[in-house]
Structure 1
Amino acid sequence: MQRGKEIRSNFFAGHHVTRYLDSSDKYLFARDEAKYKLNIIGFGMMGLEHALVTMLEGRADIYGVYDKSETSVQANVQTFQAMVPDHPLKVYSTLEDACNDEAVDGLVICTPNYTHLAVVREAVKSGKHILLEKPMATTLEDAIEITRLAKGYSGVFQIGLQYRFKSIYSEAAHEVKVRGAIGEVKTMSITEHRVPFLDKVEQWNKFAKYSGGTLVEKCCHYFDLLNFFAEARPKLVYASGNMAVNFVGFARDGEQSDILDNAMVVVQYENGIKASFNLCMFAPMFYEEMVLCGDEGRLKASENTDFLPDKRPETHLEILSGEHRPSRISTPCYPEAIQHSGHHGATYYEHKYFVDNIDGKSTVTAGVDEGLWSIIVATAADESIRTGNVVHVDEFLAKYAM
């Protein structure tokens, strides 16, 4: 069928209000045939959202899923099929089968952090396109090995550092990198205030040896943003943080939780840009903010969910340019179904650009090098907290033969 440019939506194509229509009666709500088939490796909360966002984007289908937890598979297959009816999922009994099925074009890996290296070792044997969730690994050693495994890889190897595609940061990147709205960036700061880590299977995210620690697990997104806007390598890292409120009395199988719930990190880049990151994970809301100061202006981008009945815009972007050019204040956003994807790990544009990458188009997705450098900043910050010293990145990396 030759289709025009009418407003159409894959979200509505599968919505219950259109199910009474026979497929021959669907035009605006007809779903385009998918070009690619993907398997989800790790079908928990995050895997489910990756599956739903894939179907929303529409150019790929979810073919099958694999997870060691039968409870996760049963519950999330049921949820998926309630939201995407008439689309059965193949459930694999082994990781090897899920990775190497010839019917599949790509793999989305969203297993617990500490399993990433083992899963990637199997996944790369397939030669299939790979989207690996952040953080790419829990340790710098594992991140380096994954980087080596991905070197020269024949397929796409994308890392799930998808905060680049949030509406506020996408617009900020255009203002700074394309329009030059604030001139040359000199200083950067990012703040995240949020509720504690949510529950996971076997509570793996409460223990640094499984998650990589808070700065690796949660904050690699923000370190990637700082690296992205700095357009340089980090030179010095200094940090302070501890476990002040969250999970202080939490233990599982006799092991005490040991993850940070607050931190302040300072990064100096080789090009002279200075950056700071402020984390608090015992706040009663989700709030993040980025402020970039240049020699011709200041940019502030923020996103807020405070659970209060008096609703206000969730996003905010301001560019104050003084006499250099017009200043602007706006509320960047996507359509609601897209804007609110990502709360459980996956976003629409992350998958859009994954398919674009498969198609050979140019994107600004994070690859293994960007994933590695987000881990480098996080682990250097952890080292600084442990020792109380400034970490010189070159000296720090020398221990890893980089």
Structure 2
Amino acid sequence: MSKPTTYGIIGCGMMGQEHLRNIVLLDNTTVGAIFEPDAEMRARARQFAPDAQFVDSIAELLAIETLDCLMIASPNFRHIEQLEEIANTLGAARALPVLVEKPLFTDPDHVARLAAFEATYPAPVWVAMEYRYMPPVATLLRDAQAATGGITMFTIREHRFPFLEKVGDWNRFNRYSGGTFVEKCCHFFDLMRLVTGSDPIRVMASGGIATNHLDERYNGEAPDILDHGYVIVEFANGMRAMLELCMFAEGARYQEEISATGPQGKIEALVPGPGRFWPAHLGAPPVAQVIVSPRDPKGPQVRDIPVDPRLLEAGDHNGSTFYQHQGFLELVRGQRAAPEVSLADGRWAVLTGMAAQRAITEHRVVELAELM
């Protein structure tokens, strides 16, 4: 067997640990080093990567010459500065492939910094957009053209649980998270752009804070993240897409309901939330489904899309983290020419979320050109 592909991990909080659990399931891989400044998160990460070397800085991690690739799963507002540190430390000669969690950045001022990084870093960077790889969503993406006869409308509804607790409570504040429609919803804006095959040009949105985190205070400061809203995105090719988000609807049977509609029919993907949150007294958690509803002859065609129980156990994203890593490893091992989710994809997803946040705050239509 060839040498295992060795990861260096930056950040092992909740999402970083999900990545660790999935890396264990991949063929011929290992975690060589981890940088995680929080003691409790380090202790948890050791359970999944007991042979990894734990280091005290990114510089120390990057000095380890046996690493083949890097994974960034730190708090959102650290991503751009850590990409810059990687580029400045490794240089062109030792540049390693990077899988960086979404959102790629959190501030409009980061756009120029990202462009400078992209222009000078020679190794591939894959942006972690897990929702593309959920089996029911991947099935919808594959079959949508045939089911619809050409997509005209694309709609995403996410009814889910509130933001979970994170280290340092960074996800309670827009300045650290980018805002709910960046932090949580960049996944969906990425799907919209992928499905439409076009770039967004303007955003209309309405949202607010109705229920979640109202009584929480952090150093005397109230959280400012939104907990619900509607977003309509118009694309350059004339297509439109809509998002409905509610973060106090964890009692729903399905967490995501995604539909594409065209002149010949409709296709839907129904995705359950994390199995660990499903009430035990209700029995087994629901299984993901894809439903195709042709106009002629009428009659919905329902398909269960089961996911390997090991993958469901390894994370909260319907098995998608595993499949994403399979693609990333193909890139690292030279079996794939380019990332499936590029820096450009990650940039557009964030900018659309920022436009939604601005539209809600300023009560107006926002042109994407304002953020470019």
Structure 1 stretches lacking a partner, 5+ long: 1-31, 82-86
Which residue of 254, 257, 261 maps to 2:223?
257
Q: 1:173, 1:349 → 2: CA distance?
A: 15
Q: 2:286, 2:266 → 1: CA distance?
A: 21
Mapped contact 1:186–1:272 kept (Cα < 8 A): no
Task: Please state how far the C-alpha of 1:112 moved relative to its aligned partner.
Answer: 0.6
Q: 2:122, 2:210 → 1: CA distance?
A: 46
Counterpart in the other structure of 1:116: 79
Q: Deviations over 1:228-269 (max 9, x none)?
A: 111101122100000110011211112111000001001111
Amino acid at match of 1:355: L
Q: Which runs of structure 2 are paired with 1:318-397 in the superposition (5 Å)? A: 318-323=291-296, 328-343=301-316, 347-358=321-332, 359-361=334-336, 365-394=340-369, 396-397=370-371
SS of the residue 2:162 aligns to: coil
Which residue of 237, 246, 251 maps to 1:280?
246
SS of the residue 1:39 aligns to: strand
Q: 1:262, 1:330 → 2: CA distance?
A: 30
Amino acid at match of 1:331: D
Asked if 1:103 corresponds to 2:63, the answer is no
Mapped contact 1:192–1:279 kept (Cα < 8 A): yes
Counterpart in the other structure of 2:199: 233
| Change in CA separation of 1:69 and 1:312 when aligned onto 2, cut-off 3 Å | closer
Q: Deviations over 1:135-186 (max 9, x none)?
A: 1111232244224312363222000111100001111111025xx2211111
Counterpart in the other structure of 1:167: 135
Q: Which runs of structure 2 are paired with 1:236-315 in the superposition (5 Å)? A: 236-285=202-251, 287-305=255-273, 306-307=278-279, 309-311=282-284, 313-315=286-288
| Change in CA separation of 1:129 and 1:324 when aligned onto 2, cut-off 3 Å | farther
| Change in CA separation of 1:185 and 1:388 when aligned onto 2, cut-off 3 Å | same
Q: Deviations over 1:194-233 (max 9, x none)?
A: 1110011111111111111111111111111111111101
Asked if 1:66 corresponds to 2:29, the answer is no
Asked if 1:133 corresponds to 2:98, the answer is no
Task: Please state how far the C-alpha of 1:341 moved relative to its aligned partner.
Answer: 3.7
Which residue of 31, 52, 57 maps to 1:94?
57
Mapped contact 2:79–2:104 kept (Cα < 8 A): yes
Mapped contact 2:328–2:339 kept (Cα < 8 A): no
SS of the residue 1:40 aligns to: strand
| Change in CA separation of 1:123 and 1:384 when aligned onto 2, cut-off 3 Å | same
With 195-204 and 284-293 compared, the bigger mean Cα shift is at 284-293
Q: Which runs of structure 2 are paired with 1:181-196 in the superposition (5 Å)? A: 181-196=147-162
SS of the residue 1:155 aligns to: coil
Structure 1 length-normalised TM: 0.84
Mapped contact 1:165–1:350 kept (Cα < 8 A): yes
Task: Please state how far the C-alpha of 1:188 moved relative to its aligned partner.
Answer: 0.8
Structure 2 length-normalised TM: 0.90
Task: Please state how far the C-alpha of 1:333 moved relative to its aligned partner.
Answer: 2.8
Amino acid at match of 2:81: A
Q: 1:71, 1:339 → 2: CA distance?
A: 24
Which residue of 20, 24, 36 maps to 2:5?
36
Counterpart in the other structure of 1:150: 118
Asked if 1:76 corresponds to 2:45, the answer is yes
Q: Deviations over 1:322-355 (max 9, x none)?
A: 3389963201233111244441797101110101
Amino acid at match of 1:336: P
**Bigger relative contact order, structure 1 or 2, given CA contacts below 8 A and separation 6+?**
2
Q: Which runs of structure 2 are paired with 1:1-80 in the superposition (5 Å)? A: 35-77=4-46, 79-80=47-48
SS of the residue 1:251 aligns to: coil
Task: Please state how far the C-alpha of 1:122 moved relative to its aligned partner.
Answer: 1.1
Q: 2:159, 2:353 → 1: CA distance?
A: 18
| Change in CA separation of 1:340 and 1:172 when aligned onto 2, cut-off 3 Å | farther
Q: 2:99, 2:361 → 1: CA distance?
A: 32
Q: 2:120, 2:204 → 1: CA distance?
A: 34
With 270-279 and 50-59 compared, the bigger mean Cα shift is at 50-59
Structure 2 stretches lacking a partner, 5+ long: none
Share of identical aligned residues, percent?
Answer: 28
Q: 2:44, 2:169 → 1: CA distance?
A: 18
Q: 2:96, 2:12 → 1: CA distance?
A: 19
Amino acid at match of 2:32: Y
The alignment covers a number of residue pairs equal to 358
Mapped contact 1:239–1:385 kept (Cα < 8 A): yes
Q: Which structure has the greater CA radius of gyration? A: 1
Asked if 1:211 corresponds to 2:194, the answer is no
Task: Please state how far the C-alpha of 1:36 moved relative to its aligned partner.
Answer: 1.2
| Change in CA separation of 1:280 and 1:144 when aligned onto 2, cut-off 3 Å | farther
